[in-house]
Structure formats: structure tokens, C-alpha cells
Structure 1
Amino acid sequence: MELFQSFVGFSPWELIVTICNTLITFLIIKKFLYKPVRKMLAQREEEVQSMYSEAENAQTEAEKLRAEYTERLAKAKEEAASITKSATHRATVRGEEILKEASQQAADMVKKAETSIEQERKKAMNEIKDEITGLSVMIASKVIEKDINEDDHKRMIEDFISKVG
């Protein structure tokens, strides 16, 4: 052991004092450095955990919003399809109504035109009859004025028969 002591150069009291100093230094470091460092690490761990929980909450909220957005979008698409279908149906019904009205108006116009034509035809026939009557009266008055001989009389009868017959 002497050889060791001469090599290292420590006496047993020095060794005890060094151990005590090391222990005191360790206790001081533990009291003033280790506990605050552990406290700081615990706070940092707590901050990280809160950040993770906030991130999870934000992700959950984002997923909820995305689901809500998807649902609203689907409802909007359904509503748009419903509105389009309704508008198409109304347009079809209105188109059919317009066609019915137009065909009814056309039928009424044809009926009025036929009635008008028939009235004009009757009017023309009446005018022709009146004209024929007037001519007949005029011819009769001329014939009466003129002295009819037998040859003229036969000729007039033959003309009348040929026209009538």
C-alpha cells in the first residue's frame, strides 16, 4: 500500500476529505442544479404534451369541419339536382301548356276563318242572286218594252232552256 500511496500521493484523511467534498458537491449540484433541471424538463415535457393534445384537437376539429363541409356539399348538390329537376319539370309543363294554347288558338283561328269564308261565300251568293234578279228584272222590263214577235219569243225560250238545262 505504501507503494500505492507514494504513487498517488494521498493520505487516508485526504481521501476522506475528497470523498466528503465530492458528496457535498453532489448534494449541492442535486439541490441547486438537478432539481431545477428536472423541473424545467418536466415543464418542457408538459408543454410538448399540451402541443400534442392541441394538435390532436385541431386535427379532430379539422376532420369534423371536413365532414361537415362534405355533408353540406352533398346537400347542396342534392338541392341543386332537385331545383334543376323541378325547373325542368315546370318548363316541360309550361311548354305543354303553351303548345296546347297555341293549338287551341290555331283551331279557333281556323274556325273563325272558315266561318268568315262561309259568310263571305253566302254574301257573295246573295250579291250574285241580287245581281241576277236585277238583271232579270231589267231584261224583263226591256222585253216588255219591246214588242216581241214569235221568232224572238222562240229564240228567248231556247236561250233560257239552254242556259238552265
Structure 2
Amino acid sequence: MQVQELVGIVPWNFIATICNLFIQVYLIKRFLFKPINEMLEKRKAKADAQIQDAVKAKEEAQAMKAEYEKNMQEAKNRANDIVMTAQKTAAIQSEEMLKEASSQVTAMKEKAEKDIAQEKRKAVNEIKGEIGGMAVEIAGKVIEREISEEDHAKLIDEFIENVGEAS
């Protein structure tokens, strides 16, 4: 009976096992590692592209934000300018309205003063006419009769009463 050794090295088996190992490594490298490496490279390239796209999108968003803030600041400045212009215009208009009202009041006051002065002259002229008429009457009465002191006082009182009634 022939007994096989449990631990022993058979040179042909050893060479066949080594060749088998090299063939397996070559096949794994060729058909497994290369596609996996290619797939990993594609994924890495895709991830890099997505990162680049994200960076570009972030830069664009920051640029848009800066432009938006710039536009908002310009709009605020324009709004402030419009408000300031409106306030200045309102102040100028109110000053003009006050000046116009003041000039109208002054004109009305001057007209009223002129009217009062005219009415006063008219009244004085009427009183002068009445006084002249009364003086003529008194002179006529004086001429008609001789005046005593009592008559003279009486005529003066009548004259004063007539002047009081005329005014």
C-alpha cells in the first residue's frame, strides 16, 4: 500500500499552483481591477465635475447676491433722493404759498386802508359841506337879528347838536 504524504512538496504541483496563481492574478487584474479602477476614475471625475459645478454655482450665487445688494442699495439711495426732493419741493411750495398768502393779506389790508381813507375823506367832505351850510344859516340868522350873548350860546349849542347828528 502506498501512503501519500500529507505534507510534501511535489515540484510539478508546486509549479502548476504558482502558474495557476499568476494566471488568476493576471485575470483578476485584467478583468476585475481595470474596470473597477476605470469606474472609480469615472466616479472621481464625475464627483470633481459636480464639485466644480457647485463651486461655480456658489460663485454665481454670491455674484447675484452682491448685485442684488448693490441694486437694493441703489434703490434705497434713489428712494432717499426722491424723498429729499419731495420734501424740498414741498418746503418750497409751502414757502411760496405763505408768501402768496402774505402778499394777498397785505394787498387786502392796503385796499381796506385805502377804502377807509376814502370813506373818511368823503365823510369829512360831507361834514364840511354841512358845516358850511350851517355856517351860512348861522350867518343868515346873525344878519337877520342882532345876537345877544344868550342867542350866541344858543346858536353854538345848536351848531354842536347839528354837528353831532351829522356825524
TM-score bracket, normalised by the shorter chain, equals 0.7 to 0.9
- Gaps of at least 5 residues in structure 2 are 161-167
Correspondence 1:58 to 2:57? yes
How far did residue 136 of structure 1 move? 5.9
How far did residue 44 of structure 1 move? 0.2
Task: Encode CA deviations 1:79-102: one digit per residue, 9 max, x unaligned.
Answer: 222222222221221121111111
Q: Which amino acid aligns with 2:34?
A: K
Find the residue that maps to 1:6 and give its secondary structure. Answer: coil
- Alignment correspondent of 1:157: 152
- 1: CA distance, partners of 2:154 / 2:103: 52
How far did residue 43 of structure 1 move? 0.2
Correspondence 1:35 to 2:31? no
Q: Which amino acid aligns with 2:52?
A: S
Higher relative contact order (CA 8 A, sep 6+): 2
- Alignment correspondent of 1:17: 16
Find the residue that maps to 1:7 and give its secondary structure. Answer: coil
How far did residue 104 of structure 1 move? 0.6
Q: Which runs of structure 2 are paired with 1:1-165 in the superposition (5 Å)?
A: 6-132=5-131, 143=141, 150=146, 153-154=147-148, 155-160=150-155
Q: Which amino acid aligns with 2:16?
A: V
Find the residue that maps to 2:5 and give its secondary structure. Answer: helix
Count of residues paired in the alignment: 155
- 2: CA distance, partners of 1:123 / 1:10: 159
- 2: CA distance, partners of 1:18 / 1:122: 150
- Deviation larger for 104-113 or 88-97: 88-97
Find the residue that maps to 2:68 and give its secondary structure. Answer: helix
TM-score where L is the length of structure 2 = 0.76
Q: Identity of paired residues, percent?
A: 40
- Gaps of at least 5 residues in structure 1 are none
- 1: CA distance, partners of 2:26 / 2:145: 176
How far did residue 130 of structure 1 move? 4.3
How far did residue 64 of structure 1 move? 0.9
Q: Which amino acid aligns with 1:113?
A: A
Q: Which amino acid aligns with 2:152?
A: I
How far did residue 65 of structure 1 move? 1.1
Task: Encode CA deviations 1:133-165: one digit per residue, 9 max, x unaligned.
Answer: 566667778x59xxx554xx324434445768x
TM-score where L is the length of structure 1 = 0.77
- 2: CA distance, partners of 1:133 / 1:156: 20
